[in-house]
């Protein structure tokens, strides 16, 4: 798995946390990295933007294979999840940060595996926060156990006209996180499947609230 580490050392702040941004299906690490300066204009975060391990015909990458019903291949999903967990560990070691200072999340397909990275990995890997603009997927027909989200901060970004992730699904995901004890912010905006400027503004405000 390849990765770009964007070091935000531009003199406008001191990097004290790690922000993990996982791209969507058919996109690349460079696509998602473009939002880094928008959501963290003061340079408080190092930004880690890995690339999915599976190349997609026509360009871009995927985090895991899936069938015609969009069900994730459990073996490939697990292997990618383990690799991501190791990558974040290595980044933290390199930067002298603890895993509980990390904020992890993703867009579209990246959101699904980011949720598992946040809440299904070992307790020592639990992040400070989780953000998503996509579906928290089931794996091997098993929903993600969100009990580890208790006392965690979570941001759910939702497009009201998103054909891929209907608004009610986002609302249900936010309710699941809240029921698990997470401090949830649901950000709903007009628009389809994408990260709109209004969503990024909400994410920027959300990111400033970490101590």
* pLDDT single digits (tens) 109-120: 999 999 999 999
CATH of the domain at 99: 3.40.50.1820
Tokens of 111: 């959101």
The DSSP 8-state label assigned to residue 101 in this structure reads G
CA-closest candidate to residue 33, choices 63, 58, 5: 5
**Cross-strand pairs, 142:** 139
Alpha carbons 199 and 204: distance in angstroms, whole number: 9
Residues 6+ apart with CB under 8 A from 68: none
pTM of the model: 0.93
**pLDDT tens, residue order, the chain (211 aa):** 555 544 433 334 568 899 999 999 999 999 999 999 999 998 899 999 999 999 999 889 999 999 888 889 999 999 999 999 999 999 999 889 999 999 999 999 999 999 999 999 888 889 999 999 999 999 999 999 999 999 999 999 999 999 999 999 999 999 999 999 999 999 999 999 999 999 999 999 999 998 6
Tell me which residue of 170, 145, 144, 149 sits closest to 158, measured CA to CA. 170
For the chain, helix, strand, coil in percent to 5 are 35, 25, 40
Question: What tens digit of pLDDT does each residue of 179-203 get?
Answer: 999 999 999 999 999 999 999 999 9
Number of domains in the chain: 1
Domain span including residue 192 = 3-207
Beta carbons of 158 and 188 less than 8 angstroms apart: yes
Can you read off the two tokens belonging to residue 192?
A: 């389809």
Looking at residue 163, what is its pLDDT?
92
């Amino acid at each position: 798995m390849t990765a770009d580490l964007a070091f935000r050392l531009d003199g406008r702040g001191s990097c004290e946390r790690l922000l993990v941004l996982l791209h969507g299906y058919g996109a690349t690490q460079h696509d998602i990295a473009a939002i880094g300066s928008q959501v963290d204009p003061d340079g408080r975060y190092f930004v880690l933007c890995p690339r999915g391990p599976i190349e997609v015909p026509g360009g871009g990458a995927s985090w895991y294979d899936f069938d015609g019903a969009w069900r994730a291949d459990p073996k490939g999903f697990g292997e990618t999840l383990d690799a991501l967990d190791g990558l974040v560990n290595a980044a933290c070691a390199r930067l002298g940060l603890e895993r509980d200072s990390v904020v992890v999340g993703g867009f579209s397909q990246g959101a699904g595996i980011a949720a598992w990275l946040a809440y299904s990995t070992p307790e020592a890997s639990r992040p400070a926060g989780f953000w998503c603009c996509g579906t928290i997927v089931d794996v091997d027909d098993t929903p993600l156990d969100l009990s580890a989200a208790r006392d965690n901060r979570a941001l759910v970004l939702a497009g009201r006209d998103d054909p891929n992730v209907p608004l009610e699904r986002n609302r249900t995901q936010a309710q699941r996180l809240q029921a698990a004890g997470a401090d949830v912010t649901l950000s709903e905006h007009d628009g389809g499947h994408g990260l709109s400027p209004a969503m990024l503004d909400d994410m920027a405000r959300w990111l400033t609230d970490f101590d």
